[in-house]
Structure 1
Amino acid sequence: MIVALLNQKGGVGKTTLALHLAGEWAGRGQRVILVDADPQGSALDWSEQRGHEGSPRLFGVIGLARDTLHREAPELSRQADHVVIDGPPRVAGLMRSALIAADLVLIPVQPSPFDGWASAEMLSLIAEARIYRPDLVARFVLNRCAARTILGRETAAALADHDPPVLASRIGQRVAFASAAQTGRLVHELDGATAAAAEIAALVDEIERLPRTRRVS
């Protein structure tokens, strides 16, 4: 399965989610390749920091910040159970290529009306991609949610009326994610980060239950 994390708005936590999805699948014995398609190269930086810290390699990370992803990602998927694409913000050609490459598109959004407004352009790009990939599955993911906030509930309610819908699993605003990133680790490798790790596991469980598309080669 090829999963792309995309949002034209920056700072929504695409890289953090991409790394943790890849790490969770790897921890379940799956072969995973993470594609860093963001010109900023944050996932590659994380991988390099992990090497400096002497932590074991969990999955491969490669840089492919170019608009040929729709050809290259399917080739990579033959070498892995999952290919996770950490997408770019506001690079139209790259984003369109990632959309056509993907079997599943996850759109991370924070509980903010600004994120909801910014998602309109993303939805337009998904509709365009479905001309070529009519079976493309897409979902919103609520990320960096403060516990039990009215705004979080309102954002979830607003996205419930959208196509694509929002996943039930939510990822909290937790210091553990930032702490892990600084040392090239993931939250399941930190002491005392069980709540964050459980949220990632629940997200992967929900993704696994989504309908699967069948790519025509």
Structure 2
Amino acid sequence: MKVVAVLNEKGGCGKTTIATNLARGLQLEGLDVMLVDSDVQGSARDWGAVETDFDKPAVIGMDRPTLHKDIPKVAEGSDIVVIDGAARAEKMQTSAIKASDLVLIPVQPSAYDIWSSETVVDLVQARREIAGKPEAAFVISRQIVGTNLAGEAQEALESFDLPVLEGRTAQRVIYTEAASQGRSVLDVDSSSKAADEVRSIVKDTLAIFDIQTAKANGTAR
């Protein structure tokens, strides 16, 4: 079982959008996925509670700083667990990092978001010194199409000595529409630009984990 946490100190940076779409995208690759909502706002739980005509990843709520102890107990049998992280909650973030093999840090292409990511980066680096993991990478989130801000943000993020995923999201109405329907953008319109963005993030995540999916050859490891 692999665990990926989507974390940033700042609210409104697209954590839940990335977490829910990533979880569904991984499921569509043939993996058994569990989505853990660790934010007291419960947005991922709300998404999971909306009925659909297909089975989504199981969504459970865990809003106590014991994720690293609790996830192995409840996610036995899952291939991947995706944690939708809590903002402005250092103890929760620390627990999520302890539980994780990979931390994805969504940042909007703005100085405020880049600055706010320092807290999570510091927590990840502190954990690495103790345990040698998790892996970590930035995900540029909610970029404005037609601007150069994302490129400028990538240059700024490279100073943190962490990779920046090729996959990134843009500000598109379809993300909001999909969330309100309890779906991913892949379900709403698999040919959309947003769906391509999510598939790219899924691909990057699988590559980091070196996972061969069931969709590719009938097995998952």
Q: TM-score scaled by structure 2? A: 0.89
Structure 2 Cα separation of the partners of residues 133 and 36 of structure 1:
24
DSSP 3-state at the match of 2:141: strand
Distance (whole Å) between structure 2 residues aligned to residue 11 and residue 122 of structure 1: 15
State the shift of 1:192 in Å: 7.4
Offset at residue 39 of structure 1 (A): 0.7
**Alignment gaps of 5+ in structure 1:** 213-217
Note the C-alpha offset of 1:77: 4.2
Partner Cα separation in structure 2 for residue 209 and residue 26 of structure 1: 15
Conserved 8 A contact 1:76-1:83: no
Q: Does 1:2 align with 2:35?
A: no
2:126 to 125, 128, 133: 128
Gaps spanning 5+ residues in structure 2: where?
A: 211-221
**Structure 2 matches for 1:55-204, cutoff 5 A?**
55-191=53-189, 194-204=192-202
Partner of 1:14: 15
Distance 2:209 2:36 in 1: 23
Aligned length: 209
1:2 touches 1:77 (CA, 8 Å); kept in 2?
A: no
- Quote the residue 2:219 is aligned against: none
Q: Answer yes or no: is the 8 Å Cα contact 2:8–2:87 preserved in 1.
A: yes
SS of equivalent residue, structure 2 residue 129: coil
From the two aligned structures, give the one with the greater strand fraction: 1
CA distance in 1, matches of 2:128, 2:72: 17
Q: How far apart, CA to CA, are the structure 1 residues paired with 2:123 and 2:146?
A: 32
Between 1:157-166 and 1:28-37, the stretch displaced more is 157-166
Paired with 1:127 and 1:119, the residues of 2 have a C-alpha distance of: 12
Question: 3-state DSSP class of the match of 2:56?
Answer: coil
Contact 1:187 1:193 in 2 (8 A): no
Spell out structure 1 runs of 4+ moving beyond 4 A. none
Percent identity, aligned pairs only?
Answer: 41
What are the Cα deviations for residues 110-156 of structure 1, in whole angstroms up to 9, with x where unaligned?
Answer: 01011111112221111222233213100000010112312211001
Q: Do 2:166 and 2:200's aligned partners in 1 also have CA atoms closer than 8 Å?
A: no
Q: Show the counterpart of 2:38.
A: 37
Alpha carbons 2:3, 2:101 under 8 Å: kept = yes
